[in-house]
Amino acid sequence: MDISVIIPLFNEEESLPELYAWIKRVMEANNFSFEIIFVNDGSTDGSWDVISRLADEASNVKSIKFRRNYGKSAALYCGFDKAEGDVVITMDADLQDSPDEIPELYKMIMTDGYDLVSGWKKVRHDSKLAKNLPSKLFNATTRAISGIKLNDFNCGLKAYRKNVVKSIEVYGEMHRYIPYLAKNAGFKKIGEKVVVHQARKYGTTKFGFNRFFNGYLDLITLWFLSTFGKKPMHFFGIVGSLMFFFGLISVCAVGGIKLYHIVDGSSAPLVTNSPYFYLALTSMIIGTQLFLSGFVAELVSRNAAERNDYKLEETKNL
């Protein structure tokens, strides 16, 4: 099979027939063998009825239905697991990603040798304050930390070589950082293509402002785990040694000052008389405990057997 198109969706019943017809028209015009995998992420509208009808009419339309809303990363994980095409294309279901980009994305993977090609919505039809400016800041930060020179990490329209999606694990809200996950898995040839961004035709966006805060926390987690996940002592050992060293120096300094004043016959000032000493000490202890607790919890989460155990209610043609 040439292409697998994976479409995660949540309450997009109005756009689905038009999107399917558009993808089918592009595929047939280019003589691609293809499958379309719709992943219904707990929609509460009639999205599943539309998908079921499409799957009944065409055997290459496949679908997965979650019992509840798990998020885009979960939908992509399940879609990647079922994909059979040599090239895997992901796109959103809201018609803002154009299926006309598929032939060129396919060529960049199969002919130009890219492992992953990410779309770049250079001209966007979104609110500048709510989406464009935060997106630019997010992408600049991700470029700096990941070392991957992409302008739009979070674009839903991407193309992958099949072995890329079979080699990475997307969980939590890590779909924003799939290029970073691919790089950490050893796939180095990551490219970018300017794609058309269309104004939303139906419905409203399903993502709120919390995605920016969650995104930065996920980025820090991913960077930390990719750098120290296999060798945590390289981080905790150094930090712990430095803290112990400075603590030892401080103890020696306080002891020296006390000894000096005893010999001199004068009274030494008590550092512990200041409330700032206790505030600083308490802050350091609590901060260290919180960081360690977060790291241990992340390790437990990554190794939990049920991390990617998503409850499916129904499937079609799978």
Residue 312 belongs to some domain of the structure = no
Measured in Å, how far apart are the chain's first and last C-alpha atoms? 15
Task: Tell me which of 71-80, 167-176, 202-211 is least confident.
Answer: 202-211
Is there a single domain that holds both residue 47 and residue 119? yes
Range of the domain at 242: 232-303
- Among residues 203, 228, 253, the one where a domain terminates is 228
Residue 37 belongs to some domain of the structure = yes
Map 253-292 to HEC letters. HHHHHHHHHHHHCCCCCCHHHCHHHHHHHHHHHHHHHHHH
Is there a single domain that holds both residue 215 and residue 142? yes
Is there a single domain that holds both residue 202 and residue 238? no
pLDDT of residue 153: 87
pLDDT over threshold 60, residue 293: yes
Three-class SS state of 196: coil
- Residues 19-59: pLDDT tens digits? 999 999 999 999 999 999 999 999 999 999 999 999 999 99
Is there a single domain that holds both residue 220 and residue 237? no
Is there a single domain that holds both residue 216 and residue 105? yes
Is there a single domain that holds both residue 209 and residue 148? yes
Q: Could you tell me the CATH number of the domain that includes residue 173?
A: 3.90.550.10
Residue 308 belongs to some domain of the structure = no
How many domains is the chain partitioned into structurally?
2
- Residues 52-84: pLDDT tens digits? 999 999 999 999 999 999 999 999 999 999 999
**Whole-structure pTM value:** 0.75
Is there a single domain that holds both residue 261 and residue 218? no
